[in-house]
Amino acid sequence: MRARFWGTRGSIPVALPRAAIRDKIVAALVAAAGRGIDTVDKARAFVDRELDFTVASTFGGDSACVELVTGGDEYVLCDLGSGARVFGNHVLATRGATGHTFHIFMSHVHWDHIMGFPFFMPAYVPGNRIHIYGGHADLAEAFRRQHAAPSFPVDFGRLEADIEFTRLETDRAYALAGCAVRVKRQLHSGHSYGYRFEREGKAVVYSTDSEHKRDDPGETDAFVEFFRGADLVIFDAMYSLADAISVKEDWGHSSNVMGVELCQLAGVKHLCMFHHEPVHDDARLAAILRETRRLEEITRRGARLEITSAYDGLEIAV
Amino acid sequence: MELSPRRFADALVLRPAGTIDHVSAPAFRAALDPHLTGCAADGHHVVLDFSEVPYISSAGLRVLMLASKQAKAQGGTIAIAALQPLPLEIFAISRFDQVLAVFPTVAEALAEASPAAAAAFTRGGGA
């Protein structure tokens, strides 16, 4: 399996501001000074190999949408944030407009997780099949309401793809989209759901918009069990731990520190921090990644936990 | 968990010992709670001497956050002193060094809290 990230930002999409782009160009020009970079190929090689990620690239700004590339013919997605727009356009551009099947697992139906669907072009094309799974009773209603006047000009009923909603139950094992799927209820406003996907001996957990208070050992144990031995855990690390349990307590999100602890307890191989705070710029997110890797290093008891910070366009092989 | 309480004028110095993780955090909280319950009556200031704590997890940090709120609600203060290198890094990475008062030494924590307590500590007059 591979995880491909189409949207990684939390709460609301963000765009790289003009000043940040200017700063990156300035930093790149200074770094390139005197290097004799006088062709496009040399410039590309320099950018790709020698510039820091925060200068050469960006974490990106689309909201939550992650594709699991399973090797099967059908697409598997988690959430339909604004990154779903980019994903849908990519599918149409590379694989044609129709004849596709999408299995989409929704953490919840807060705006940032559904806002990409009105711009998900495969939904407008007859011959496509879209299965939307989630734990909420109002799953379908949330999507229909988003398309309804006066919020959007195209009513849900005019979408031409075959769209089905399926409500999943927690703590049941499902066989969906070529994967064994388990669902876990999580602490969030209106609650959310995490998913564990297993296929061919590999396990990926998608657990976003999930607060961990650590005041109930049983709840901690349940998450450790849900994460147990996973090859990859995609984890809501939006806040610092101090914020998450003080001024932002009950805001429904978690921290890098909590991600490291739960993954270490569960023997996870790879933690990917996700649902980035929209006020954090690239330098801030890179600093948090460095600190989190350091935390893992100084608290390591057993095998090393690999840590990455998700960015739009990232792919992780498991 | 034994906290080895020592009083210096209007300040109380508590010294937990050992790792504070998700297993030991409940015991840490239970040991701390009686000292915070009478915080306002017994003196306004509590200093936690962390010189014997080699590691603290999120569960332990949460206990500190609750303790800080409890102390503030009673008009008291709580400070952390003498962090070992590893907990010091954990405080920085978790940003707890921005929401709790952290001092390099117990003497410096007491100096900030109360001149009388600092003087008593310097004289070695803890009880």
Whether B43 is in a domain gets the answer yes
Q: Could you say which DSSP state residue A97 is in?
A: S
- CA-based Rg of chain A, rounded to a whole angstrom? 20
Whether B95 is in a domain gets the answer yes
Q: Which residue has the tokens 């009105």?
A: A118
B93 and A292 within 8 Å at the Cβ level: the answer is yes
pLDDT of residue B126: 57
pLDDT of residue A311: 98
Q: How far apart are CA A206 and CA A212, in angstroms?
A: 15
| Percent of chain A whose pLDDT exceeds 70 | 100
Whether B118 is in a domain gets the answer no
Q: Which of A56, A71, A86 is the C-terminal boundary of a domain?
A: A56
Q: Which domain holds residue B47?
A: 6-112
Split at pLDDT 50, 70, 90, the class of B43 is: low
Q: A26 and A112 share a domain?
A: no
Task: State the pairing for strand pair A202-207/A192-199.
Answer: antiparallel
Region of B9 please: left (phi>0), alpha (psi -120 to 50) or beta: left
* HSE, side-chain direction, 13 A CA sphere, residue B106: 22
A257 and B93 within 8 Å at the Cβ level: the answer is yes
pLDDT of residue B124: 78
Q: A100 and A247 share a domain?
A: yes
Q: A102 and A201 share a domain?
A: yes
Sheet strands (E) in B21-86 = 45-49, 77-81
Q: Are A57 and A311 in contact (CB under 8 A)?
A: yes
Mean pLDDT (chain A, rounded): 97
Q: How far apart are CA A123 and CA A121, in angstroms?
A: 5
| pLDDT at position B26 over 80 | yes
Q: A166 and A126 share a domain?
A: yes
| Percent of chain A whose pLDDT exceeds 90 | 96
Q: Which residues of B touch A220 (CB under 8 A)?
A: 22, 59
Q: Which domain holds residue A38?
A: 18-56
Q: What stretches of chain A show up as alpha helix (H) in DSSP?
A: 18-32, 40-50, 53-56, 83-95, 111-114, 139-147, 217-227, 241-244, 256-266, 282-299
Whether B125 is in a domain gets the answer no
Q: A23 and A140 share a domain?
A: no
Whether B82 is in a domain gets the answer yes
| B30-35: long-range pairs with CB below 8 Å, 24+ | B30/B1, B31/B1, B31/B2, B31/B3, B32/B3, B32/B63, B32/B67, B35/B3, B35/B5
Does the bond joining A150 to the residue before it have cis omega, within 30 degrees of 0? yes
The residue in chain B having the minimum alpha-carbon distance to the alpha carbon of residue A296 is B90
A256 and B99 within 8 Å at the Cβ level: the answer is no
The residue in chain A having the minimum alpha-carbon distance to the alpha carbon of residue B19 is A299
| pLDDT at position A101 over 70 | yes
Tokens representing B103?
């001092």
Split at pLDDT 50, 70, 90, the class of B67 is: very high
Q: A166 and A310 share a domain?
A: yes
Q: SS3 breakdown of chain A: % helix, strand, coil, rounded to 5?
A: 35, 25, 40
Q: Are A119 and A127 in contact (CB under 8 A)?
A: no
Whether B127 is in a domain gets the answer no
| pLDDT at position A149 over 70 | yes
Q: Are B18 and B31 in contact (CB under 8 A)?
A: no
**What's the number of domains chain A is made of?**
2
| CATH number of the structural domain spanning residue B27 | 3.30.750.24
| pLDDT at position B81 over 80 | yes
Q: A26 and A104 share a domain?
A: no
pLDDT, mean of residues A176-189: 97
Q: A246 — contact with chain B (CB < 8 Å)?
A: yes
Whether B120 is in a domain gets the answer no
Q: Which residues of A touch B89 (CB under 8 A)?
A: 294-295, 298
B99 and A242 within 8 Å at the Cβ level: the answer is yes
Name every residue whose Cβ is closer than 8 Å to that of residue A46 and which is 6 or more positions away in sequence. A32, A35, A37
| CATH number of the structural domain spanning residue A196 | 3.60.15.10
pLDDT tens readout for residues A198-247: 999 999 999 999 999 878 888 999 999 999 999 999 999 999 999 999 99
pLDDT of residue A171: 76
Q: Whole-model pTM?
A: 0.95
Q: A233 and A288 share a domain?
A: yes
**What's the number of domains chain B is made of?**
1
Please tell me which of the candidates B22, B57, B58 has its beta carbon nearest to residue A217: B22
Mean pLDDT (chain B, rounded): 92
Q: A38 and A162 share a domain?
A: no
pLDDT tens readout for residues A272-294: 999 999 999 999 999 999 999 99
Q: A304 and A237 share a domain?
A: yes
| pLDDT at position B41 over 70 | no
pLDDT tens readout for residues A295-311: 999 999 899 999 999 99
Q: A23 and A157 share a domain?
A: no
| pLDDT at position B125 over 70 | no
Q: A52 and A182 share a domain?
A: no
pLDDT of residue A86: 98
pLDDT of residue A222: 96
Sheet strands (E) in A135-237 = 162-167, 173-176, 179-186, 192-199, 202-207, 232-236
pLDDT of residue A214: 78
pLDDT of residue B40: 58
| pLDDT at position B37 over 90 | no
